């Protein structure tokens, strides 16, 4: 399935939530390095797994906002959010892309 994109986020609709996740925030899906946030307009619980992948369940349609990107409307359902990574050409280490 092709992801929904907003900046450095890849957003996938999923059919069920994983079992081993912990609370991350209320409505904030990701923090940017400049202090900006990817934030839902609903006060829903956002969860995170041990690899930093975020999950949330929307009881109804919601909008994901970010100060530097176009708002995205998401339909009701469960979602998985992966922050894009890149390989540093000098150290060959993977790092999260930050907007």
Q: State CA 63 to chain mean position distance.
A: 13
User: Residue 4: pLDDT above 70?
Assistant: yes
Residue owning tokens 């209320």: 26
Rounded to an integer, what distance in angstroms lies between the CA atom of residue 59 and that of residue 99?
A: 28
**Strands 45-48, 69-74: pairing kind:** unpaired
In sign, the C-alpha dihedral spanning 45, 11, 64, 73 is negative
Rounded to an integer, what distance in angstroms lies between the CA atom of residue 36 and that of residue 32?
A: 5
Rounded to an integer, what distance in angstroms lies between the CA atom of residue 80 and that of residue 14?
A: 7
Confidence at 95, pLDDT banded by 50, 70, 90: very low
Look up the pTM and report it.
Answer: 0.82
pLDDT digits over 42-68, tens only?
999 999 999 999 999 999 999 999 988
Rounded to an integer, what distance in angstroms lies between the CA atom of residue 27 and that of residue 7?
A: 17
């Amino acid at each position: 399935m092709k992801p929904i994109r907003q900046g450095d986020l890849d957003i996938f609709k999923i059919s069920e939530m994983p079992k081993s996740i912990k609370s991350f925030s209320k409505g904030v899906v990701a923090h940017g390095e400049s202090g900006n946030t990817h934030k839902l307009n609903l006060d829903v619980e956002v969860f995170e797994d041990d690899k930093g992948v975020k999950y949330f369940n929307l009881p109804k349609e919601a909008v994901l906002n970010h100060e530097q990107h176009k708002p995205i409307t998401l339909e009701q359902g469960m979602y998985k959010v992966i922050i894009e990574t890149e390989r540093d050409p000098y150290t060959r280490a993977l790092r999260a892309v930050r907007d």
